[in-house]
Amino acid sequence: MLIAFNSGRSTRCGLAREGNFLIGRSEGAASGLTWSSILHRRWWLAGAVLVVAAVAAVFTAGSHGRRLAEVVVPYPHELAQVSFAVGGDVIPHEAVRAAASAASAGDPTNTQGWGALFSDVSDVFKQADFGFVNLETPVAPAHSHGSKPFMFDAPVALLDGLKASGIKIVSFANNHVMDQGWPGFTETREHLRDEGLLFAGSGDTVLQQWQPVIVEANGIRVGWLGMTRWLNGNRNPDKDDQPHVNFLPYPGEAGGAPGADEPQVLAAVKAARAQCDFLVVSIHWGIEYAPAPRLEDVDMAHKMLEAGASVIVGHHPHVLQPVETYTTQDGRNTVIFYSLGNFLSNQSRTYVDGLMPDKDGDPRDEMIGLFSAVRKDYGPAGVRVELGHVGILPVWGENNRNDIAAGRTKTAVIRPILMDREIQQLQARLDELMKLSPATDASGANSMNADQKKEFIEVTNRLKVLTDRRALLLARTGDDYVTEPPKLAAKP
């Protein structure tokens, strides 16, 4: 399947300026110079220019006049790029559905509140050529057996909300895809197609399994290959003409369900890479709530990168895991997001910073991974597409369940928020309160009124939660690629 997108973001660069050398001229006693000496100096200078032309630096006479010569690095030229923003698990727990319902009245996306839940992060996905999340639920109202703990279903409006928030492709290869049976699995794929969302990780038949989704943007062909290592004890249909999920079971941990083995998957990666310029592999793997990947998954990731993938996007543990950069044997720079954590869920809803162990809040530490595919012209060495511009945005899963339990509000709020943007806003408000209400008046008494004191405490505590969790998050993922969040447009 080839789907073309034209974002209009093709970037073309001229020759790069690597640096400048100054050309000086010395003015000694001019009256003592002869034409022969002048000509001799000029010929010497011409020779020097030729010698140093490779580094584009020439020195000529004088303290009064200067001329600049450019050092030219002719290659590579950046011809085009495609940008990506990837998020983790979207799980429609009952409390999440309640939060969507509560937000529906003021939802500008008209998606029954689902789009409103992504309002703080949607600009990130909309600015990318491809926004991605792991859809960890069927969307099967016609074949639903209902939702309950560890068995999910979601309304079609969730897909509308994702699309309205800038998501263009999802993984539908995870341990919950069969929660509503094979009919529910098939129905979900139909709704994804109807809503115009691409999905990776399954095929219409057994013969179409392990085929990548191929998309094109700015002249770059991008392949998406999805798979899962878990099916919650389920298995693919017995009939080959029915839809199948891409299943790579851990040896001895599949409960007897058949699936592909490592050589078959690596062959599929190689075949997918042959169909595109840049391959992204999405994989549902690992151990739930484990802060680090399984060793066999690290090995598998490296093998898939050597087989041709450029990016591995991992999910399932519900907590963040490290981000690894890896250089392949053929010299390509690649990246592995071992686990993107949750993105929308009701997990760790009762967490209280400072009172509970830090690990209790881990399922609410989230991130958006950023990267790009860049087409570069290397002149006589040819044109190639490379990984570029890797970044992460720290995200916090906001959840006001404790406020509801304490009677401070009745309206559920569950949503991902950009930590750094929220921290900046909170710090700005704290500064305003400090200026408006000095700590003490002339007599030494506190001059804040009751409302200001209450807000000051609330802002301070919220700021502490986010700064604490941000530090824990980056200790897990590494802080090499932390990126500034995009600026919000000024309100009229």
Q: Report if residue 411 sits inside a domain.
A: no
Q: Report if residue 412 sits inside a domain.
A: no
Which CATH number characterizes residue 347's domain? 3.60.21.10
Same domain, 221 and 206: yes
Same domain, 65 and 84: no
Q: What pLDDT, in 10s, does the model give residues 461-481?
A: 999 999 999 999 999 999 999
431 SS3 class: helix
56, 73, 90 - which closes a domain: 73
Same domain, 346 and 203: yes
Q: State what percent of residues in the chain have pLDDT above 70.
A: 83
Token output for 167: 């998501």
56 pLDDT higher than 60: no
Query: What is the pLDDT at residue 437?
Result: 65
Contact 344, 138 (CB under 8 A): no
Average pLDDT, integer, range 145-150 = 89
CA distance 143 to 17: 61
Average pLDDT, integer, range 237-266 = 96
Q: Report if residue 484 sits inside a domain.
A: no
At 190, the pLDDT band (50, 70, 90 cuts) reads very high
Residues 6+ apart with CB under 8 A from 430: 456, 459, 460, 463
Token output for 249: 């079971």
Q: Report if residue 37 sits inside a domain.
A: yes
**AA identity, residue 400:** N
Q: pTM for the whole thing?
A: 0.84
350, 374, 401 - which closes a domain: 401
Q: Report if residue 48 sits inside a domain.
A: yes
CA distance 434 to 429: 9
Q: What pLDDT, in 10s, does the model give residues 383-423?
A: 999 999 999 999 999 999 999 999 999 999 999 999 999 99
Same domain, 43 and 93: no
Q: Report if residue 9 sits inside a domain.
A: no
Q: What pLDDT, in 10s, does the model give residues 69-108?
A: 577 778 999 999 999 999 999 999 999 999 999 999 989 9
Same domain, 460 and 361: no
Residue 21 belongs to what domain range?
16-73
Query: What is the pLDDT at residue 449?
Result: 87
Same domain, 273 and 171: yes
Same domain, 69 and 94: no
Q: Report if residue 10 sits inside a domain.
A: no
Q: Which residues of 18-51 are buried (b: 16+ CB within 10 A; e: fewer)?
A: eeeeebeeeeeeeeeeeeeeeeeeeeebeeeeee
Helix (H) or strand (E) holding 3: strand 2-5
Same domain, 126 and 170: yes
401, 430, 446 - which closes a domain: 401
Same domain, 36 and 97: no
Q: Report if residue 491 sits inside a domain.
A: no
Same domain, 52 and 150: no
Q: How many domains does the chain have?
A: 3
Same domain, 166 and 181: yes
Same domain, 286 and 390: yes
